[in-house]
Amino acid sequence: MIIDAYIAIKKPTNVLILVPTIALTDETRRRLSKKFSGEYKIVTTSEVELGEKNILIFPQERAIHYCDKLKQLDLLVVDEFYKASQTFDKKRSPALLKAMLKLGEKAAQKYYLAPNISDLNDNLFTKGMLFLRMDFNTVFLEKHEIYKEINKDAQKKNNALLEILGKQEKKSLIYAGSYSNVDSVATLLIENTEREHSKLLSDFSAWLATNYHPNWKLTNLVKRGVGIHTGQLHRSLSQIQVRLFEEEQGGLQTLVSTSSIIEGVNTSAENVIVWSNKKGNLKLDDFTYRNIIGRGGRMFRHFVGNIFILEEPPIPAETQLELTFPDELLADVDDEKYKQELTREQLAKLLHYKEEMAQLMGQESFERLRNEGMLISSDTELIATIALAIKNDPKFVRALASLHASSNDYWGWALSNKVLKLVPSGWDTTYTKFAEFVRALSNNWSISIPELLDQLSEHDVTIDDFFKMERNATFKLTALLNDINVIQKEITPEHKVDISPFIAKLSKAFLPSCVMELEEYGLPRMLAKRITASGLINFEDEKLDLHSAIKLLRELKPEILAKTEGLDDFDRYILDDFYEGIAIQ
């Protein structure tokens, strides 16, 4: 309400809203589009030309690409800004801090939001801002401490869950805590609950079987009125399930989720069931626990939320948010400007890095890359490792050349033997398996996902692996290859190797034009493919950008619904929801 009121009253030129996930990007876009799309260009993807007045909504990784494109910001908003602390999000906090640092310098006003924070340390990132603590609840939470009766008995816990769901006709969110627990709860519900008599859910199950996999657990689960919400699913799939969960009749009654339900989407339910007191492999902290149970109840609809606690909750604690300058940002900072914020060890590390990089690529080249912000990573160790590999290993650049080639015969070798090994944290799978996945993904538009999974079956790639690896390929690998490409062109310009065309294709999962961006808006790739086959819109046209495609989709809505071959009832349900999200009010 505050953000919307600010835009309506102040009529700013540029507002940038940082959100933690792409799912929340789309939800925020839909809300603001209905109110302001007539006056503002609403930007949610990279490489979009800005309009006269803009509302930009991004996860932090995308926002960094706009640091140099925006001369000034009237308002910078950071939603869930507790994720800037390494305590709460070790992997992504450096990228968020980088965005806050660079964009904050251009912002006339800043507004950072986070729940359940009692205090904030003095730090560079919120310098000059007022910290306002609020302890206001819009609903009352009625807690049922069933864990005391269960006493860590797994069978009793299973029985308790089934009993709660059997008694309740209200919407329920089940916090499962990890992917393996989501899988366990899904299996339990498939084996012990009856199918719902809902045409909508039967249609959804058939749609999943055709477009993803007939033996996928979700395909069987939705028949029972249960959905799954995790950060790995295709964006459109998460959106479809949230929409079905919001349906009053005939939709999903229950969502089983990881922590994505508290950071990825603004939905809530009358019942929240805390199945696990873990977040991944770690014990759940009180901050996250309060965030989860805060999904219980909904203002103006049901003012009492029922919280069923099946495992012992964490001990209540005040949360002091500590924001510190991480080593991962050193490659991006001016040591003179920020020397008061850096430790003696960080200053020494930064000096060593600058000397090493100047020696590897020359002082002038190094300074230019830093000043122009051409590197995505701010990790001094990773950047130095890339530069050393290019400088000392002649085969490295030849491997890159194979990524530039039209044939993908050597991609697996190039990726697994040279590129992937540069990332010490790994890829959640073997190098060879991931490289083979990327090779198969290059056919992402020409064949269906079931066909791709069939191709990858010899490498034991499941549909859940598919989601995880596609995400790693389009974000993590793309960022790595970008920095490799930039550095190698400076160190070995004589080879004239440029893999930016490969990077561009990989960033879109080898889908044409703006298909992947439209998927984030709620149009699945399968439907974009059918629309192209109908001859109504050519998504294979490389000149077609996202905003032009949306304009065409709006104009051609009647023809698309009437002339696209093979649309079933559930395809039309998805299209109705998609069109609602791009409508101009």
Residue-by-residue DSSP string for 33-54: HHHHTTTSEEE-STTPPP-SSE
Task: Count the Cβ atoms, other than its own, within 10 Å of residue 254.
Answer: 25
In tens, the pLDDT along 7-41 reads 999 999 999 999 988 778 888 998 999 899 889 99
pLDDT exceeds cutoff 70 at 48: yes
The confidence score (pLDDT) of residue 327 equals 86
Nearest C-alpha neighbor of 179 from the set 142, 130, 228, 221: 228
Share the mean pLDDT of the chain. 89
Helix 449-456 vs helix 199-211: crossing angle, to nearest 10: 50
The sign one gets for the Cα dihedral 499, 502, 508, 514 is positive
**β-bridge partners, 42:** 55
* Choice between 101 and 400, residue whose per-residue pLDDT is larger: 101
256-270, 281-295, 378-392: least confidently modelled range: 256-270
Give the Cα-Cα-Cα angle 432, 438, 441 (nearest 5 degrees): 140
* DSSP tag of 269: B
CATH topology of domain 2-120: Rossmann fold (3.40.50)
254-258, 266-270, 409-413, 498-502: least confidently modelled range: 409-413
Give the Cα-Cα-Cα angle 106, 107, 112 (nearest 5 degrees): 135
Token pair belonging to 68: 């140099």
Nearest C-alpha neighbor of 189 from the set 253, 128, 133: 253
65-88 core/surface letters (b: 16 or more CB in 10 A; e: else): bbeeebeebbbbbbbbbbbbbbbb
At 68, the amino acid letter reads: D
Token pair belonging to 403: 């990524």
State phi, psi for 73 to the nearest 5 degrees. -125, 135
Averaged pLDDT for residues 79-108: 90
The confidence score (pLDDT) of residue 326 equals 87
Confidence of residue 259 (pLDDT cuts 50, 70, 90): confident
For residues 92, 94, 97, 103, the Cα torsion angle rounded to the nearest 10 degrees is -90
The confidence score (pLDDT) of residue 302 equals 66
Confidence of residue 299 (pLDDT cuts 50, 70, 90): low
The confidence score (pLDDT) of residue 548 equals 93
pLDDT exceeds cutoff 60 at 264: no
Superfamily of domain 140-309: P-loop containing nucleotide triphosphate hydrolases (3.40.50.300)
At 124, the amino acid letter reads: L
Confidence of residue 263 (pLDDT cuts 50, 70, 90): low
In tens, the pLDDT along 158-206 reads 999 999 999 777 889 999 988 999 999 999 999 999 998 999 999 999 9
**CATH 3.40.50.300 in the chain, residue ranges:** 2-120, 140-309
Confidence of residue 409 (pLDDT cuts 50, 70, 90): low
The confidence score (pLDDT) of residue 300 equals 61
Distance CA 305, CA 111 (A): 29
Distance CA 373, CA 367 (A): 10
In tens, the pLDDT along 114-127 reads 888 889 999 989 99
Task: Count the Cβ atoms, other than its own, within 10 Å of residue 488.
Answer: 23
174 within 8 A of 273, measured Cβ to Cβ: yes
